[in-house]
Every structure is written in C-alpha cells, then in structure tokens.
Amino acid sequence: MAKASEKAADPKAPHAGGEAGRPEDSTRVLIADVMLLLRSALVSPERNQLGLLILGVVVVVSGVAYMQIRLNAWNQPFYDALSARNFNAFLNQLTQFAFIAGILLCLVVAQTWLQEMLKLVLRKQATRDLLDQWLTPGRAYRISRAGDIGVNPDQRMAEDVRHLTELSAQLAIGLFQSTLLLFSFVGVLWMLSRSVVFTWDGQEFFIPGYMVWAALFYSGAASWLSWIFGHRLIAYNSERYAREADLRVAMVRTNQHVDAMTLEGGEAHERNTLEQPLNNVLAAMRNLVSALTRLTWITSGYGWFALVAPIIVAAPAYFSGKLSFGALMMAVGAFNQVQQALRWFVDNFAVIADWQATLIRVVSFRQALIELDNPPVDSRPRIHRETGAAGELSLRHVELYCNSHIARLGEDVTVHPGERLLITGETGVGKSTMFRAIAGLWTRGSGDIITPPREEIVFLPRSPFLPVGPLRDSILYACSGKVADDDIITALERVGLDKLENQLDRAATWDRELPVDQQQRIALVRAILQHPRWIIMDEALHQVDPASRQTILDIFREDLADVGLIYTGPEVENPAMFTRIVRLERQERDDLAAAANTAGDAPEQPEARKKQQESA
C-alpha cells in the first residue's frame, strides 16, 4: 500500500501508487496476501484440524455433486411419466426421488456442519496468529504510534478477522462446489446438445456443444457486466470499515471519560463531536448503496432471465421432436447447473468485494507488525542501544528529538545498583520521553544508552497496567516464577495496602476500582516481588499522596537499598534521597533538524505493501 493506513483513497480513483493501478499488479498482490495467510495456517497448531475439515468438505461436496447428477438424470423419466400420464411410472419415480433427496439432505447437513466448523477453526487460527504478532515484545507500543494502521488494532483482530474467516470459508467452499458441478454437468449438457438440430436453407445441422457455449456466453456476459458495475465495491467496503472503526474509537473515548464529561456538562459538545465520524460512516454507506444498486440491475436481471434462458436455448430441439418433454427438463436442469456454476462470480461479486477489502485490512496490519522489527534504513539519527555488562546502566551524550525541540541530558551518567538518579527538568521538556528512551520505546535522537539485561530491570510507568481478573494476577503480572501468598501479603502490608489481603482471589476491573494512588502502590508491590537490580520510574511518586510518597521513599531506603533507581519527573520534596540529580535541557530545533525528524517516535510506515494503496 502506498501508505499503511486505514484511510482509503478516493474510491473513484482506481489506484494510487503508479504501476499498482494495473489490474495484473493488483491480482499479484491479492495472490500474495492469500498465500501469506495460507503459509501462516500451514505452520499453526490448527493445521491438522484444518486439513481434516478440508478433506471432509472435499468428500461431502463431491458426494453432493454426484447425487445432483443422479437427481438431474431423474428428471427425464419423471417428466416423461407425467407427459404419458403413466401413474405407475410416476409412483416409481417418486420413490426414486425420495431415496435421492434423503441422501442429499444428509450430505447437505454434513456440509453445513463442516463449513461452520471450518469457520470456527479458521477464526481460532487467524486470531491467535495476529495476537502472537501483536504481543511480540515492543510491537503493540510501536504499532500504536505508527499512524492510522495502528489506530484500531482491536477492530482488525476481532471483527475483521471474524468477517474474513467466515467469508473465506463460505467463498472457498462455494467456489469448489461450483467448479465441481460445472465439470460434472458440462459433459451432460454437451451430449444433450447433439439433439439440438437447426435448419437453414433446407439443410439440417447441429453445433457441437451448442448448449454449453450458450451457457458460457450467458454467464460470461453477466460476469463481465458485474465487474464493470461492481468493481468499486472493494474500495467502498474498505472505506466503510475504516470509517466504522473511527466512529467506534470516538464513542469508546467518550465512554472512557464519561465522569469528567458529565462534571463539565460536556454532553452537548460530545454529541456534536460524534456527528463528524457518524457523517463519514453515512457517506461511505451512501457510496455502497449506489454501487450495490447499480450491481443489482445486473444480478437480478440475470437471475430472472435465467428462468427462461435454458428453455429458449433447447426450444429448437423440443419443437423439432428431437427431445421429449422429459429430456427437455433434463436439459434445462443441466443448463441451470452449468450456468449456476458459471454465475458464481456474479452472485458473489459483492461478497468477494467485501472479502477482499477485509483481507487488505487484516494482511496490512499483520505485515505492519512484522516490519516493525525491520526499521527502514535512513539518514535520520537514532539513539544507539546495547546491552552491556551486568552492574551498570549508562546514558552517554543522549539527545532526544521531541516534537518541537531537542531534550539534551546535561551530562553523561552511569548508575550502579544502590545508586539513585533523578532526571528532572521544566514542564514539557521530555522527562517521560527519556523514560521511554531508556525502555527502548523512543528511538529518535542521538547518543548511547547501555542497559543491563532486561530481566534485571523493572519499569514503573506513570499509569501502571492492571489486567482484568483476580487481584493476585494483577500483582503478579509479568512476574516470573512462583510467588507465595505470604510474600504477597507481606509486600502489601509494606506499602500500606493490607486491607487488600483478603481480596487476592476477587476478580474485578482494578484500574477502575482502585484509585491512582493505590494502583501505583500495587505496581511497587510487583517490583518488590520481582527483586530487580534496577527500577526505572516515570513520575510515579507524583501520582500518590504525600503519606504514600513517604512510604515509597522509605521502602527504597530500606527494602530496596541495593537497587539502582532512575526516576524521571519533577523535583521531589526530599532530593537528598537521590545520589545524583541531572537536568534535561531544552534546545529549540532548527529547520534542518526539524526536517530530518518527524514528530513523535512513530515508526516508518511499512513498505512491503506500498503499491497496494486501495488497489481495489
């Protein structure tokens, strides 16, 4: 894609990105996308389940095709019995029909079960694959800062994957079944075509495979017209999904801040704010309405005319007496099966467009995640990071390229276990950015950051993460090894949260139930239980009340006296607890520096799909 973005290009423009506008290029990208997902399925734990289900589908669908051939052959003796008013033959054919229909019913029920199970296993495989890619260390954060591609990861991994897997199973089985029926009935229709004799200038002649060619022409014309009138549906569907995701994010944001909104009396303002994303959704839907309406002229007209088309094609043979009424109905049935197989593209064009739009969203997200591990080679300076020997953490000549300025560390520092460093500075200078740089989440800048092994460091951000579930899980989040309840209770008592001792097994949404002060102390309990050699904190002391702050300082002086501490934030009331204080200095960026570095630390947009921007 020209940009790994959810925002679709103008749907009226067939392509962006130069040569990517050629249909053959779009087809190559589509095939590459499908092959990528197939390869991920082949190496997944679900591959054996998928293989067995696909084998079952092949066997059952083949059985359905065979029984439909038997049912079509049944047409001739049945309608001949009707035309001859032969009651005994009529009853005999009804018995044959009951046998054929009973077997077909069992096969169709089995096919439905297999199809739904295939959807289920595909959903399991694809969702787990995306979750694995997303939650690879560091990727979730980096994709969130990679522009539009990372705005709605939940939408892509939940709703888009569900939609893609369901449509994939439905379309794949439908295409296989139609192909099998086509090859099964072409031979029948070819043989029946010998009975269609034309007379010209007193001479009789027949066209080999006449009814087959008629079915091919009829379906081919309809497919071509469907493409002409409906190909923009792919872009329109992609645009709609992007706008739906924007609306959902806007409403979730409003719900997350409902307390503050209510206190400020901001309901009317939020209502007006939500109007724009809603209007964008409605505009995308209007495009879909227009395109679907145009396509319906073709699909419905084609469908209605299909009722009489086979009779018109076979009429010369019937009226010449070459075909009996039963043979005519058999020919009509075979023609309908062939043209129904050929019209699969026509009947499913809107669904295919929907599927391709969803495929683009899922694959582009997956590719963006993978390419985050391979940052582009460019001339912009980046902070050099490396893992050094255990025993020290060093910051050398570090400069951070922030949105509008450079934050420069006043001096080089090396921190050993037991030492405490305060990195401070004026408001907005980049203290939290320095915290992210030490953690490896911010790369724009220059200088060297040398850290000990990752397992020796605990990071305490300004807003700690407390997962939904039992309190014990929140306390032990990311802790390795087994921790006894007695150790948990002791740590809770040490930070003044002994009232939570009897709630370790209670499940709750703790980041909503506990105040920020207690959330920070829960994060400190984690640090105590992990026994790190370094703790890096970002303004955590300023998120708690004075009494809790004093408790935390006492813990660092006593329980964590041998732990190295780097604290980024405003100056504290008791600076004597720090063995060293370094200030971040602001330097305005000149035009050259600003041009060389983009705002924030968003990774470069993935390149692999640049030629596919809204290629539909």
How would residue 598 be classed by pLDDT, with cut points 50, 70 and 90? very low
Amino acid (one-letter) located at 342: L
Q: What is the pLDDT of residue 6?
A: 37
Q: Phi/psi at 426 (nearest 5 deg)?
A: -65, 165
- 379 within a domain of the structure (yes/no): no
CATH of the domain at 196: 1.20.1560.10
Q: What is the mean pLDDT of the chain?
A: 81
Pair 317, 323: CB distance under 8 Å:
yes
What is the 3-state composition of the chain as percent helix, strand, coil, each rounded to the nearest 5?
A: 65, 10, 25
Same domain, 226 and 284: yes
Same domain, 478 and 559: yes
Q: What number of other Cβ atoms are within 10 A of residue 20's Cβ?
A: 21
Tally the domains of the chain. Answer: 2
Q: Last residue of some domain: 324, 345, 371? A: 371
Same domain, 312 and 456: no
Instruction: Quote the percentage of the chain above a pLDDT of 90.
Output: 24
CATH of the domain at 495: 3.40.50.300
Same domain, 389 and 367: no
Same domain, 396 and 436: yes
Question: What is the Cα–Cα distance from 109 to 339, expressed in whole angstroms?
Answer: 24
- 3 within a domain of the structure (yes/no): no
Same domain, 301 and 419: no
Higher per-residue pLDDT: 601 or 274: 274
- 184 within a domain of the structure (yes/no): yes
Question: Lowest-pLDDT range, 273-282, 360-369, 581-590?
Answer: 581-590
How would residue 531 be classed by pLDDT, with cut points 50, 70 and 90? confident
Residue 445 contacts by C-beta under 8 Å, 6 or more apart in sequence?
Answer: 381, 382, 383, 398, 399, 400, 401, 406, 437
Tokens 């734990």, residue located: 45
Q: Last residue of some domain: 342, 371, 400? A: 371
Mean local confidence (pLDDT), 95-124: 94
Same domain, 153 and 185: yes
Asked if pLDDT for residue 11 goes beyond 60, the answer is no
- 408 within a domain of the structure (yes/no): yes
Q: Last residue of some domain: 346, 371, 396? A: 371
Tokens 């997200």, residue located: 365
Q: How far apart, in Å, are the Cα atoms of 534 and each of 375, 380, 389, 468, 556? A: 28, 31, 14, 27, 11
Mean local confidence (pLDDT), 589-602: 46
Q: How far apart, in Å, are the Cα atoms of 134 and each of 56, 129, 308, 320, 604? A: 33, 9, 54, 69, 17
Q: Tell me the residue ranges of DSSP E strands in 338-381.
A: none
- 157 within a domain of the structure (yes/no): yes
Same domain, 104 and 187: yes
- 337 within a domain of the structure (yes/no): yes
Pair 522, 463: CB distance under 8 Å:
no
Higher per-residue pLDDT: 393 or 27: 393
Q: What is the pLDDT of residue 250?
A: 85
Q: What is the pLDDT of residue 595?
A: 39
Tens of pLDDT along 328-341?
777 777 777 777 77
- Considering only CA atoms, which of 506, 343, 533, 358 is closest in space to residue 451? 533
Same domain, 439 and 551: yes
> In terms of residue numbers, what domain contains 443?
384-596
Same domain, 262 and 401: no
Instruction: Quote the percentage of the chain above a pLDDT of 70.
Output: 87
- 519 within a domain of the structure (yes/no): yes
- Considering only CA atoms, which of 393, 361, 546, 511 is closest in space to residue 459? 393
Pair 164, 40: CB distance under 8 Å:
no
Q: What is the pLDDT of residue 201?
A: 66
- 415 within a domain of the structure (yes/no): yes
Same domain, 355 and 461: no
Same domain, 117 and 161: yes
